[in-house]
Amino acid sequence: MKLAVGQFQVSRDWQDNASTIVALMQEAEVKAARLLVLPEAVLARDNQNSQWVIDAAQALDGPFISQLLTASRSLDITTVLTLHVPAGAGKARNVLVALRQGEIVLTYDKIHLYDAFAVRESDKVIAGEALPPLLQVDDFSVGVMTCYDLRFPEMARALALQGAELLLLPAAWLKGPNKEMHWELLTRARALENTCYLVASGECGPKNCGHSLVVDPLGLIIAQAGERPQLIVTEIDRAHLLAVREQLPVLQNCRLV
């Protein structure tokens, strides 16, 4: 199955971001991708004003998602991203959505909020409480996570034990000392320890590192972007995944569940 990973710098203007996403959806479709993974919090961002993502939040039936759903009706591709949705009292939920042919086919509220490295996401965002259901994309059972979820191996393992073969991670991974090393190390570890493919899409720009990547079930990077806006397209192979799981049956051998 061909899949695409799109990274870009999210702007303050939701209309600009919607136009960028529609263009990426169309380009991925032309390149025969069946799945497009985009970064975290793509509705609006102001790197000088962290409150803006909350102030600009929109409901799932608002104009931002409505525009993407309209575009998706004519496309045969599943698109995954996250946006902030109003939650009252000056707060929001960080909601992952999967769009396909004019419909929202999956939503997931981010469970692990980024209260680390002198940042407190929980001051403005309400945490989710439920593990997301799996999503089917062609022959692959797909599990989803969001950014900081990557640092919690029990979440990826729970999705894999439910049957996930492909893990998707929209992210806005902050730059900082050793942060790019953490990004690569953790994505590769989550893929290898669960014998899953893993696709991580990172927002790029002055605050976040980009470097979107696709990792195979043995922890090998098979496609990777740099720091600039980019669409990468690669192919994943379910036969390879099944062969790896036969040789390395960690999910079957796991006893601490």
pLDDT in tens, 106-117: 999 999 999 999
Q: Which of 147, 196, 204, 209 is catalytic?
A: 147
Write the CATH number of the domain with boundaries 2-253.
Answer: 3.60.110.10
What SS3 state is found at 44?
coil
In whole angstroms, what is the distance from residue 139 CA to residue 132 CA?
Answer: 19
Whether pLDDT at 126 is above 90: yes
Q: Name the strand (E) or helix (H) holding 10.
A: none
* 196 in catalytic set: no
Say if CB 101 and CB 73 are below 8 A apart: yes
In whole angstroms, what is the distance from residue 27 CA to residue 24 CA?
Answer: 5
Q: Which of 29, 40, 165, 203 is catalytic?
A: 40
Say if CB 210 and CB 232 are below 8 A apart: no
Question: Which of 39-43, 44-48, 67-71, 232-236 is least confident?
Answer: 44-48
- Nearest 5°: phi and psi at 224? -155, 140
The pLDDT assigned to 208 comes to: 97
- Which distant-in-sequence residues (6+ apart) come within 8 Å of 76 by Cβ? 29, 34, 101
- Radius of gyration over every alpha carbon of the chain, rounded to an integer in angstroms: 17
Say if CB 219 and CB 192 are below 8 A apart: yes
Q: Which of 29, 110, 196, 203 is catalytic?
A: 110
**Residue 69, CA distances (Å) to 72, 75, 102, 171, 225 in order:** 5, 10, 4, 21, 26
Say what the alpha-carbon torsion angle 169, 153, 57, 72 is, to the nearest 10 degrees: 30
- pTM, entire model: 0.97
In whole angstroms, what is the distance from residue 38 CA to residue 202 CA?
Answer: 7
Q: pLDDT tens digits for 173-194? A: 999 999 999 999 999 999 999 9
- Which distant-in-sequence residues (6+ apart) come within 8 Å of 199 by Cβ? 3, 5, 35, 37, 166, 167, 168, 169, 213, 214, 215
* 254 in catalytic set: no
